[in-house]
């Protein structure tokens, strides 16, 4: 069949030009490609300590089981549950620097979106498929960060599609697919959601089965293999306890990604959740009891914790599109154009990735990477301990400096997080206690932290200040800061700092 004949047949089938079938996957591929050139993918401060952890594992040849980074919790038990993703990040960074990480994470986003867009073309007219893909891409935008979770979400997408295909064929998933969980459990703690999804589809199979004993046997074997696969990690059964321990922390509201949905700031997620909530309510009969319960449960998780919003977006979009797709499948010409669209989307992402690799990224001073403030601190002062703003901890670790706190809140625990909250707010008793106990010599704070005013009242001297961070030094150590300054520079004060010095 010639291309013109295929186009004519497709136009007769849909009443629309053939190229519209190509549009949804290619459009989301362009979106993912654009993210490679968006500096906001580096806005999360945890990127820094994840990279440092990967470097440490490559250097030592072992996964750490105690804190190797901070001074306040040195030697305390720590579960590096994302160690494999961190190693991958470190290897990518060694090969391609920051631009390599941008390509890796944007390609992961592209893989997720292209799969969803391609399945949308099975379920909807091209224009509606494009709209659905755009809504999903917008809802996932806040989760597009250089962090391990995005790698794990590629597995989440593949896992959900694999299970739905098995259910469509009224069979169990292939047993080899349990091996995906060996990767997943070492990449990210969201592997438990994979077990929950498998359990939901297994229950659906049982409820719809004519031979329930056979169904229990087949899905039970698959489920047992899945659970066994999750034990193949350095922490064994402890990997199962970790997500529940973290979700039970009292200090979770202090961490942005664990805060509940805020309609004023989480506009895109709020709109998406509202759309899916309405769809689930309207189509609950077509979805079935189990899938409705699955989406409802994930919706509640997304409302309770921002961390789960991306999971809800991915799973709900795939489940709803699976419900809407034509049971008769695609016609040959439309299926061929769909395959071409996926190939073209891969080409778009590949070409953008090559261009990104050829254009080095120089990360500038930012909230997630306060390099100017760190560079302003001379060696004699760096040798003492620091009290830092939570978001600055990862950058300190990456620069081989020991923070007071960083993004590993699960390791520090509720007591430490509560102490940090009092200190950073400017509680004199808490601050003085930590300074004495830790022999703290300098502070690196957000200019809006309440501790800035207290420290200045107590005589701590400003060494550096800009819109990102302010560095204060203990009064008796300020001569060391001056002695450690390079020639021609007053205690390594930056130009912006010198302008901000009091008259």
- Residue 1 CB partners (closer than 8 Å, separation 6+): 9, 332, 333
- For CA atoms 458, 459, 464, 465, the dihedral sign is positive
> Quick one: which of 15, 16, 18, 14 has its CA closest to 1?
18
The tens digit of pLDDT for each residue in 461-494 reads 999 999 999 999 999 998 776 665 433 333 333 3
Distance CA 190, CA 443 (A): 35
Percent of the chain with pLDDT over 70: 89
**If pLDDT is split at 50, 70 and 90, which confidence band does 122 have?**
confident
Q: Please, are residues 235 and 81 in contact by the beta-carbon 8 Å criterion?
A: yes
Is the pLDDT assigned to residue 186 strictly greater than 50?
A: yes
Is the pLDDT assigned to residue 499 strictly greater than 50?
A: no
Q: Please, are residues 260 and 306 in contact by the beta-carbon 8 Å criterion?
A: yes
**If pLDDT is split at 50, 70 and 90, which confidence band does 17 have?**
low
Give the residues across from 204 on adjacent strands: none
Distance CA 161, CA 492 (A): 56
Assign 369 to helix, strand or coil: strand
Is the pLDDT assigned to residue 106 strictly greater than 60?
A: yes
What confidence score (pLDDT) does residue 244 get?
Answer: 87
What confidence score (pLDDT) does residue 326 get?
Answer: 57
Taking the alpha carbons at both ends of the chain, their separation in whole angstroms is 82
**DSSP state, 460?**
P
Q: Please, are residues 150 and 313 in contact by the beta-carbon 8 Å criterion?
A: no
What confidence score (pLDDT) does residue 123 get?
Answer: 87
**If pLDDT is split at 50, 70 and 90, which confidence band does 13 have?**
very low
Look over the chain and give the mean of its residue pLDDT values, rounded to a whole number: 90
Lowest-pLDDT range, 81-95, 117-131, 238-252, 487-501? Answer: 487-501
pLDDT, mean of residues 292-319? 95
Mark out the alpha helices in 305-331 (DSSP H runs).
309-324
What confidence score (pLDDT) does residue 482 get?
Answer: 65
**If pLDDT is split at 50, 70 and 90, which confidence band does 380 have?**
very high
**If pLDDT is split at 50, 70 and 90, which confidence band does 433 have?**
very high
Q: Kind of pairing, strands 461-465 and 440-445?
A: unpaired
Q: Is the pTM of this model over 0.85?
A: yes
What confidence score (pLDDT) does residue 333 get?
Answer: 57
Is the pLDDT assigned to residue 177 strictly greater than 60?
A: yes
The tens digit of pLDDT for each residue in 283-292 reads 999 999 999 9
**If pLDDT is split at 50, 70 and 90, which confidence band does 344 have?**
very high
What confidence score (pLDDT) does residue 486 get?
Answer: 39
Lowest-pLDDT range, 65-79, 151-165, 242-256, 417-431? Answer: 242-256
């Amino acid at each position: 069949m010639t291309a013109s004949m295929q186009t004519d047949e497709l136009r007769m089938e849909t009443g629309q030009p053939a190229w519209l079938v190509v549009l949804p996957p290619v459009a989301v591929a362009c979106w993912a490609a654009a993210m490679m050139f968006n500096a906001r993918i580096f806005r999360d401060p945890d990127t820094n300590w994840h990279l440092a952890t990967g470097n440490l594992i490559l250097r030592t040849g072992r996964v750490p089981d105690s804190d190797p980074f901070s001074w306040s919790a040195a030697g305390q038990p720590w579960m590096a549950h994302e160690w494999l993703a961190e190693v991958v990040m470190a290897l990518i960074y060694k090969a391609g620097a920051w631009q390599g990480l941008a390509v890796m994470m944007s390609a992961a986003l592209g893989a997720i979106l292209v799969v969803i867009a391609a399945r949308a073309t099975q379920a909807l007219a091209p224009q509606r498929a494009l709209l659905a893909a755009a809504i999903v891409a917008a809802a996932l935008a806040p989760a597009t960060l250089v962090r391990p979770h995005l790698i794990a979400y590629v597995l989440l997408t593949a896992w959900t599609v694999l299970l739905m295909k098995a259910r469509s064929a009224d069979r169990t998933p292939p047993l080899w697919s349990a091996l995906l969980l060996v990767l997943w459990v070492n990449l990210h703690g969201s592997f438990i959601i994979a077990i929950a999804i498998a359990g939901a589809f297994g229950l659906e199979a049982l409820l719809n089965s004519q031979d329930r004993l056979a169904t229990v046997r087949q899905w039970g074997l698959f489920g047992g293999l899945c659970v066994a696969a999750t034990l193949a990690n350095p922490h064994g059964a402890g990997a199962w306890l970790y997500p529940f321990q973290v979700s039970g922390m009292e200090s979770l509201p202090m961490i942005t990604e664990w805060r509940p949905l805020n309609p004023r700031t989480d506009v895109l997620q709020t709109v998406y959740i509202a759309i899916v909530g309405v769809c689930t309510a309207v189509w609950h009969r077509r979805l079935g009891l189990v899938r409705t319960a699955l989406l409802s449960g994930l919706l509640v998780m997304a409302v309770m914790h921002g961390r789960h919003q991306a999971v809800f977006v991915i799973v709900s979009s795939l489940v709803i599109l699976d419900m809407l797709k034509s049971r008769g499948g695609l016609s040959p010409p439309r299926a061929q154009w769909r395959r071409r669209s996926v190939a073209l989307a891969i080409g778009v992402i590949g070409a953008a990735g090559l261009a990104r690799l050829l254009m080095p990224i120089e990360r500038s001073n930012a909230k997630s990477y306060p390099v100017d403030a760190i560079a302003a601190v001379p060696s004699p002062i760096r040798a003492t301990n620091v009290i830092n703003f939570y978001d600055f901890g990862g950058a300190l670790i990456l620069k081989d400096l020991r923070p007071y706190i960083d993004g590993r809140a699960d390791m520090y625990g509720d007591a430490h997080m509560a102490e940090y909250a009092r200190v950073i707010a400017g509680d004199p008793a808490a601050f003085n206690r930590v300074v004495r106990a830790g022999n703290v010599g300098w502070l690196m704070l957000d200019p809006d932290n309440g501790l800035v005013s207290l420290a200045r009242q107590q005589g701590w001297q400003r060494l550096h200040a800009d819109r990102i961070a302010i560095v204060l030094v203990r009064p008796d150590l300020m001569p060391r800061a001056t002695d450690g300054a390079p020639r021609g520079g007053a205690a390594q004060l930056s130009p912006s700092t010198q302008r901000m010095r009091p008259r």
